[in-house]
Amino acid sequence: MEVKEIIRQENMVYQRSSLLTSKPFSYCPGCGHGTSNRLVAEVIEELGIQNDTIGVAPVGCSVLIYDFIDIDFSQAPHGRAPAVATGIKRVLPEKVVFTYQGDGDLAAIGTSETIHACNRGENITIIFVNNGIYGMTGGQMAPTTLPGMKTSTSPYGREVATMGTPLKITEMIAHLDGVNFVSRQAVHTPAAVRKAKKAIRAAFECQINKKGLGFVEIVSNCNSGWKMTPVKANQWMEENMFPFYPLGDIKVDGKLVKTL
Partner 1 sequence: MKEFLLMKGNEAIAEAAIRAGADAYFGYPITPQSEIMEYLMTEKATERTGMVVLQAESELAAINMVYGAAGTGKKVLTSSSSPGISLMQEGISYIAGAELPCVIINVVRAGPGLGTIQPSQADYFQSVKGGGHGDYRLIVLAPSSVQEMADFVPLAFDLAFKYRNPALILSDGVIGQMMEKVELFKPIPRTEQFDQSWVITGKTPDRKANVITSLDLEPLPMEKHNHHLQAKYKKMEDEEVRFEEIMCDDADYIMVAYGSSARICSKALQLARAKGVKVGLLRPITLFPFPKVRIAELAQRVKGMLSVELSAGQMVEDIRLAVNGKIPVEHYGRFGGMVHSPSEVLEAFEKIFIKN
Residues that bind partner 1 (CB under 8 A): 59, 63, 75, 77-79, 104, 108-109, 111, 134, 137-138, 140-141, 143, 152-156, 162-163
Which stretches of the chain bind ligand TPP, using CB under 6 A?
Answer: 59-62, 78, 102-105, 129, 131, 133-137, 142, 222
Residues 144-183, mask of contacts with Mg ion (x by CB under 5 A): ----------------------------------------
If one asks whether residue 104 binds ligand SF4 (CB under 6 A), the answer comes out as no
For 16, the 3-state DSSP assignment is coil
**Per DSSP, which regions of the chain are E strands?**
53-57, 72-75, 96-102, 125-130, 133-134, 140-141, 179-186, 213-219, 248-252, 255-256
Q: Which does 105 bind (CB under 5 to 8 A by kind): ligand SF4, ligand TPP, Mg ion, none?
A: ligand TPP
If one asks whether residue 36 binds ligand SF4 (CB under 6 A), the answer comes out as no
- In one-letter notation, the amino acid at residue 183 is S
Q: Smallest gap, in angstroms, from Cβ of residue 140 to ligand TPP?
A: 7
Between residues 47 and 115, which has the closer beta carbon with respect to partner 1? Answer: 115
* CB of 217 closer than 8 Å to CB of 183: yes
Which of 114, 154, 170, 224 is the binder for ligand SF4 (CB under 6 A)? 224
d(Cα 204, Cα 185) in Å, to the nearest integer? 15
* CB of 216 closer than 8 Å to CB of 127: yes
Residue 63: what are its φ and ψ, rounded to 5°?
A: -55, -30
Q: Smallest gap, in angstroms, from Cβ of residue 226 to partner 1?
A: 16
* CB of 214 closer than 8 Å to CB of 207: yes
For residue 47, give the nearest of 19, 81, 22 by alpha carbon: 19
With b meaning 16 or more CB within 10 Å and e meaning fewer, what string describes 51-67?
A: ebbbbbbbbbbbbebbe
Q: Which does 223 bind (CB under 5 to 8 A by kind): ligand SF4, ligand TPP, Mg ion, none?
A: ligand SF4
If one asks whether residue 131 binds ligand SF4 (CB under 6 A), the answer comes out as yes
Which residues are at the interface with ligand SF4 (CB under 6 A)?
27-28, 31, 33, 61, 131, 135-136, 222-225
